[in-house]
Amino acid sequence: MEKETLDQTEKLMNKAITKLKEDLSLIRTGRVNSRILEKISIIYYETPTPITQLCQVSIPDARTLLLQPWDKNILKEVEKAILKSDLGITPSNDGTNIRLVFPPLSEDRRKELVKNMHKHGEECKVIIRNIRRDQNEHIKRAQNDDLISEDLMYNIQEKIQKTTDKFILMVEELVRAKEKEIMEVH
């Protein structure tokens, strides 16, 4: 029971870290990242399709994304989808490519992004703590049902706490690294 509980705890906490990494990767820093386009899609052959699957995306410089649709007929739809998105960028269409030029981040915008990023970090910590609470309750129920001894219950709870501490530290390191990346002026 101990191994299963600890494995389950790690698995659930890893999922929370993976979600945090995904959320943080979507936050814009001084350099553009093609991942910010992943949530934008258009209807292509009656199927909602992410534009990253319909275009070759390249990064010619630190503030520019270049989209080259494989099917030139979807150029207007891609442009409309980008305009409707929350990117706040006006695409430049030259007839074959779409160029997205991101303005440099102002100090206020950087601080706002850091604040938003810290919110994601806190949400992840809450999820991790809830996992700890649920696992501890599971162990207490097992002890109350006489499936495990009280000593084993305390031993497992101690290991769950160490795992929780490890993952909380991981969240803090991810947030700190992303904050440094956001505040860095290019």
Domain end position, chosen among 101, 117, 137:
101
Reported as a pLDDT band with limits 50, 70 and 90, residue 9 is: very high
Reported as a pLDDT band with limits 50, 70 and 90, residue 16 is: very high
Whether residue 77 is found in the same domain as residue 118: no
pLDDT digits (tens, 9 = 90+) for 151-179: 999 999 999 999 999 999 999 999 998 88
125: domain CATH number is 1.10.132.20
Taking the CA of residue 44 as centre, how many other CA atoms within 13 Å lie in the half-sphere pointing to its CB?
21
Reported as a pLDDT band with limits 50, 70 and 90, residue 12 is: very high
Highest mean pLDDT: which range of 35-39, 49-53, 85-89: 49-53
**What does the pLDDT read at residue 185?**
65
The total of structural domains in the chain comes to 2
Whether residue 94 is found in the same domain as residue 128: no
75: domain CATH number is 3.30.1360.40
Residue 186 clears pLDDT 70, i.e. is over it: no
**What does the pLDDT read at residue 28?**
67
Whether residue 110 is found in the same domain as residue 93: no
Distance, CA of 92 to CA of 90 (rounded, Å)? 7
Angle CA 181–182–183, to nearest 5? 95
Both tokens of residue 125?
Answer: 């910590």
Whether residue 46 is found in the same domain as residue 85: yes
Amino acid present at 109:
R
Whether residue 43 is found in the same domain as residue 80: yes
Domain end position, chosen among 101, 136, 151:
101
Distance, CA of 34 to CA of 19 (rounded, Å)? 18
Give kind and range of the element (H or E) at residue 128.
helix 107-144
Whether residue 125 is found in the same domain as residue 165: yes
**What does the pLDDT read at residue 168?**
95
Kindly state the DSSP code that residue 6 receives in the 8-state scheme. Answer: H
**What does the pLDDT read at residue 29?**
66
Reported as a pLDDT band with limits 50, 70 and 90, residue 124 is: very high
> Phi then psi for 129, rounded to 5 degrees?
-65, -35
Distance, CA of 131 to CA of 108 (rounded, Å)? 35
Reported as a pLDDT band with limits 50, 70 and 90, residue 139 is: very high
- How many C-beta atoms lie closer than 10 Å to residue 170's C-beta? 18
Domain end position, chosen among 84, 101, 118:
101
Whether residue 52 is found in the same domain as residue 92: yes
63 lies in which domain range? Answer: 34-101
Whether residue 81 is found in the same domain as residue 113: no
